[in-house]
A and B are shown apart, each in its own frame.
Chain A
Amino acid sequence: MSALSFSSFRRVGWISLPLAVGIAIVLFWLVVTFLAPVMSSYDPIDMVGRRLQAPSWQHWLGTDALGRDVLSRTLHGARHSLPIAVIVVALSVAIGALLGAISGFIGGLGGAAIMRLVDVTLSFPPMLLAMAVAASLGPGLENAAIAMVIVWWPVYARLMRAQVLEVREREHVEAAIAAGASRPRVLLKHILPLCWTPVLISATMDLGQVILLAASLSFIGLGAAPPTPEWGSMISDGAAQFYSWWVALGPGLAILTIVLGFNFVGDGLHDYFDPKSK
Chain B
Amino acid sequence: MTRYILRRLIAMPFLVLGIVTLAFLLTTVTKGDPLAAIVSDRQMNDPEAVAAAKARWGLDRSLPERYVIYVRNLLTGDMGTSFITRRPVAQDVLFRLPATMELVIAAMLVGSTIGIALGVLAAYFRNTPTDHLARFFALIGSSVPVFWLGLALLYVFSVKLGILPGPGRLDPRAALPPRITGFMTIDTLLAGNVKLFIDAVWHLILPAFVLGWAVAGTISRLVRANMLEVLDREFILTARSKGAGEFRVVIRHALRNTLVPTLTVIGYSFAYLLTGAVLTETIFSWPGMGSYAVDAARGLDFPAIIGVTIVGGIVFLVTNLLTDVAYVIANPRVRLG
Contacts and interface: CB of A to CB of B under 8 A. Distances in A.
B143 interface: yes
Interface string A206-217: 001000100110
Interface in B11-61: 15, 18-19, 21-23, 26-27, 29-31, 37
A17 to B, nearest CB: 9
Contacts of A212: 143, 145
A259 interface: yes
A131 B152 contact: no
Nearest to A131: B297
A219 interface: yes
Nearest to A217: B297
A256 B312 contact: no
B253 to A, nearest CB: 23
Contact of A136 (B30, B279, B316): B30
A91 to B, nearest CB: 18
A136 B29 contact: yes
A263 B142 CA distance: 9
A132 B317 contact: no
Interface stretch (A68-76, A114-122, A191-199): A114-122
Contacts of A127: 274-276, 278-279
Contact of A260 (B21, B140, B276): B140
B180 interface: no
B306 A132 contact: yes
B227 interface: no
Nearest to B300: A135
Contacts of B144: 252, 255-256, 259
Nearest to B127: A278
Contacts of B306: 132
Interface string A106-132: 000000000011011101111111011
Contacts of B109: none
A252 B149 CA distance: 8
A211 B112 CA distance: 25
Contacts of B27: 136
Contacts of A267: 139
Contacts of A220: 279, 282, 294, 297-298
A119 B279 CA distance: 25
Contact of A215 (B15, B145, B276, B308): B145
- Secondary structure at the A interface, as helix, strand, loop or mixed, is helix
Given A116-B18, A243-B159, A128 B31 contact: no
A277 B225 CA distance: 8
Given A235-B145, A242-B155, A128 B312 contact: yes
Interface in A209-261: 212, 215-216, 219-222, 232, 235, 238-239, 242-243, 245, 248, 251-252, 255-256, 259-260
B151 A238 contact: yes
B30 A124 contact: no
A133 interface: yes
Given A137-B29, A215-B145, A252-B148, A132 B309 contact: yes
B283 interface: yes
B313 interface: yes
A83 interface: no
Contact of A216 (B15, B23, B152, B279): B279
Contacts of A219: 145, 147, 279
Contacts of B298: 220-222
A61 interface: no
A134 B145 contact: no
Nearest to A119: B15
Nearest to B156: A245
Nearest to A247: B151
B72 to A, nearest CB: 20
B297 A221 contact: yes
5 contacts: A131-B278, A131-B294, A137-B29, A222-B298, A255-B144
Chain A to chain B: the 10 pairs with minimum beta-carbon distance, closest first: A120-B18, A252-B148, A127-B275, A259-B143, A125-B274, A260-B143, A132-B309, A128-B312, A135-B297, A124-B313
Interface of B: 15, 18-19, 21-23, 26-27, 29-31, 37, 139-140, 142-145, 147-149, 151-152, 154-155, 159, 225, 271, 274-276, 278-279, 282-283, 293-294, 296-298, 300, 302, 305-306, 308-309, 312-313, 316-317
Given A216-B145, A222-B298, 12 more contacts: A123-B313, A124-B19, A124-B316, A131-B278, A132-B309, A136-B26, A136-B37, A220-B298, A239-B147, A255-B144, A255-B145, A255-B148
